[in-house]
Amino acid sequence: KKFKIVMPFIGFNKIYMNVNDLWVKVDKFEITDEKVLILNDNVRIDFPEGILNAGKARMDLENGFINFKKGGELILKDYLFNSEEGIFDKNKLFVDFTNGETYINNRGFVISFKKLTGNLDNQITLEDISMTSCKDPKDGWQLNAKSITLDDNTMRGYAKKVKVKAFDRTVLRIPYLPFATSQERMSGFLEPKISYSSDGLDFMIPYYRVLSETSDFTIALRNISDRGLGFEAN
């Protein structure tokens, strides 16, 4: 396979170069005999679909994938990823990240994970995940799961072995939880809602069901501290 590097130039103590039509900014670089570009310190790679920032990166010039370490940030149209290290193939939209978090623009979710892998145009799976409504989970709700699968084609997600906490207290355990990943009008579980009143902690998990173009209903498992467990329907 062919590859090309436009002659690099230096400006403001940075090295700029065009690599296979990707703009690269970095402090130091080298090219190996295996046609691999090693990028060190303050790496920034610009491409038409987004930006990758990392402490260190390794670009396979023949196969097109990027392996980064020392912390990385990948910015795309519908996603934002931060992770300690990972692999990104921009041609196949394949990702494989370790220990990080992702922001999903379509739903406003921020999900922390230990492992994330898959194809962004199809399906990705996150392992050992955590979602929360507050920076400090003790002040709001937190959802933990063994894994979450996000399907870009159906705009739905599926969580397994789910545990929901409210104010650092476990309020629900369920083996499987489907939900919508889009703001569009779709059936599925919605994010938990939490409030506090004179009756104590008020916590519920709503399920939204579309019946037709003009009708729908919402049913929620609801727990109020001084009243107990019940259901709410609209």
- Report how far residue 5's alpha carbon sits from residue 26's, in angstroms, rounded to the nearest whole number: 14
pLDDT in tens, 173-186: 889 887 777 767 77
**pLDDT at position 10 over 70:** no
The CB density around residue 124, as the number of other CB atoms within 10 Å, is: 24
Is the pLDDT confidence value at 194 over 90? no
Supply 165's token pair: 């906490």
pLDDT at 111: 87
pLDDT tens for residues 94-129? 999 999 999 876 666 688 999 999 998 889 999 999
* CB contact at 8 A, 96 and 85: no
Quick check: 2 pLDDT over 50? no
pLDDT surpassing 50 at residue 1: no
Cα(179)–Cα(189) distance, integer angstroms: 4
pLDDT tens digit string along 29-63? 888 877 888 999 999 999 888 999 999 999 987 88
pLDDT tens-digit readout, 204-229: 888 889 899 899 999 988 878 788 88
